[in-house]
Amino acid sequence: MIKDLYKEGYTQNRELSWLQFDMRCLNEAKDKTVPDIERLKFVEIYTSNLTEFFMVRVGSLYDMDKASVTKVDNKSGLSPKGQLNAIYPAAKRGLKKRDVIFEELRKRLARAGIEDIPVSECDKNEVKYLRKYFRRSIAPLLAPQIVDTHHPFPNLQFGTIYIAAVLKYAKRSVFAFVPVPTTLPAIISLPHKKKVRFVHTEDLIMSYAPEIFPDAQITEIMKISVARSAYVDADDDIFANILDYRKKMLRVLKERRKMNVTMLTFSKKPSDHLKKYLQSNLGITNREVFVCSVPMNLKYVYSLPSLLNDEQKEALTYPSYEPKLSPSLNYSRKIFPQIQKKDVLLSYPYESMEPFLQLLKESASDPNVVSIKITIYRLASHARLVDYLCLAAENGKEVDVLIELKARFDEQNNIDYSERLEDAGCNVIYGFEKYKVHSKICLITRVEKGKTTHAALLSTGNFNENTAKLYTDLAYMTSRPEIIDDAIAFFQNMAIGKLDGTYNELLVAPVSLKSSLLAMIDEQIAKGEEGYIFAKVNSVTDEEIIVKLKEASCAGVQITLLVRGICCLVPGVKGKTENIEVRQIVGRYLEHSRIYIFGKNEEEKMYISSADFMTRNTERRVEIACPLKDAACAARIHRMIDLYMADNTKVRVLFPTGRYHKIRDVEVPVSAQEMMMEKTAASNQSLPPAAVVQRPAAVVFDTTYKPKKKKKKKNDSD
């Protein structure tokens, strides 16, 4: 490794690169070619990304700064304190820009008949409606609290909005907090025949503060929220005495609620009295204090389309797109035997995840299927995949599930699923100390008339039915013996905790992925100007890979990196990275697939993978990169790459300054994602109906206005 790599001049700080990606999402909210409600979604995406950043990355830096860690980042030369000093001002500038964009969009939507109004601007009928709604559906759920000798300062939780108030009674003043229940909808639709009008639940609760605190004079009131460090490691010594891993993860989640506050947000400028009080109790300074004017809960933007008529939807949202059934399969026949004859590549979200779900459904009931093995990282909140795994176990098949309980922010969801899978008879294991299992692989084994056959699926993304409609990912279905042999070895190794297993075709982290990548880069270095490297990943932070790519550039190898998010490598630096091009695409769908290509034509080696070029992926996770040897599947990926490289609307190019720039002077606009929606072929078949699984009914608050029907007067003949 190169000591003081930042002095070489071709790397940049990971955290500041992350902030650049967040700003790229926010800039999509400014793009007037994007429908207005979709632009509003990018405001929410920017906000949620930034919040996660403050919980994960800033949380880690915050802890290091508190511990007086002075070690500098090798890619930028910044200490933890130096990074924080750069991050906070940049984030505050970004949030001010977000507030301006939000207000512009709010006005544009109002002109289109979608009115986001303050409670104070409601008319008499709306006030009456809201009063009844508040007293019936909201007030019973509220848990207001004052702070005094008998009522300690509350443990403010991430994800909860609070109404913070200063109350004056006859003989004393106190601080008070009202948590906004997370079970409530974010907005309340108001009765109106021609327009969509709504208020925010958080604002309605604040407007009823005089009723919540009837004996007090409210001298100050506003909304607040906090972000806390989520940097809690289940493998820390403090959890060593907890042997049950599920219990350990529940303890981790509990500890997270008490971590350092990295961000305190006010809905308007607070008085010094309130600000200093909160700073003192939360242990923060002015640096961590933000003042923002947008609603605290922006998730409501995803429910807006349901309030619109067809004309409004057409004008304000993307044209609807339903993922297509791959034409590579015959859906009137079983999927498993078709995979025995040919490889199948699915491209989400342009193609549907249904063929894989159909394969699991068939396998669950197929008397000749003897086992299903799968790794799980993130799942949909209601996952048919789990239904089919449970059904398979209940039908007597061996179902082995390696579920990662340390998937950040999905821990509780995975804990719940692990319990359900165990109850159904699945064999559930949880991964390894110090390593997360991030690979996405499924292996199905069938025995008929003494003959054993297998089918495997390897994916770049999670087995999540919801994100498969929103993220671009690739899923490879195959029965190639060399891949199957490695898949069998992989699950055997995982079952006995062997991380250093040997594989012939699959590249598996932490044992062989990184070393193989470096070796393949070396192969291209040996070819000099005839060498070629292409990689599509989410992030590039691994120092050894960065240094090796720089060596390849100096040898004349042509390198193209399509990096959605963080990129610590700066391209185009003379004498170092001038043969490297870095592009970024942000559009309707989240770019999530990982593709590696080394060499061209007959010498080409192509892989799809779950791993980014990050040290956490290459060294601290269990990842898989799978070779694509099928000519038709490889040709499809090349066609995708051609579209990515032709994109001139959603693409940004990273310059030697470390800044991304738009392509100028575009004659014919090309969007890779739009072209893929247009060009993806669809099967003219349909799937058999999905199995219906009964679940307990959820409690739903109906906020849609429904005019009352006039009651008929009763008479003797009724």
Catalytically annotated residues: 438
Q: In this structure, what token pair is assigned to residue 517? A: 């990548």
User: Which value, to the nearest 10 degrees, does the dihedral of the CA atoms of residues 50, 55, 61, 62 take?
Assistant: 110
Contact 286, 292 (CB under 8 A): no
Residue keyed to tokens 């340390």: 406
Residue 139, token pair as written in the block: 């007030």
Contact 216, 169 (CB under 8 A): yes
Specify the pairing of strand 427-429 against strand 398-403: parallel
**Long-range CB contacts (within 8 A, 24+) of 510-516:** 510/435, 510/618, 510/619, 510/620, 510/621, 510/622, 513/609, 513/611, 513/617, 513/618, 513/623, 513/624, 513/625, 514/542, 514/544, 514/545, 514/618, 514/619, 516/625
For residue 242 the two structure tokens come to 């907890």
Q: Which residue has the tokens 């797109």?
A: 321
| Contact (CB, 8 A) for 490 and 508 | yes
Q: Which residues contact 447 (CB under 8 A, 6 or more apart)?
A: 368, 370, 453
The DSSP line for 477-542 is EE--HHHHHHHHHHHHHHHTT-SS---SS-EEETTTHHHHHHHHHHHHHHHGGG-EEEEEES-B--
Q: Please, which residues bridge with residue 455 across strands?
A: 444
Mark residue 626 as left, alpha or beta (left: phi above 0; alpha: psi -120 to 50; beta: remaining).
Answer: beta
Token couple for 686: 């349909």
User: What is the distance between the alpha carbons of residues 87 and 130, in angstroms, rounded to a whole number?
Assistant: 41
Q: What is the DSSP string of 44-70?
A: HHHHHHHHHHHHHHHHHHHHHHHTT--
For residue 406, what are the CA distances in angstroms to 249, 376, 459?
A: 7, 11, 20
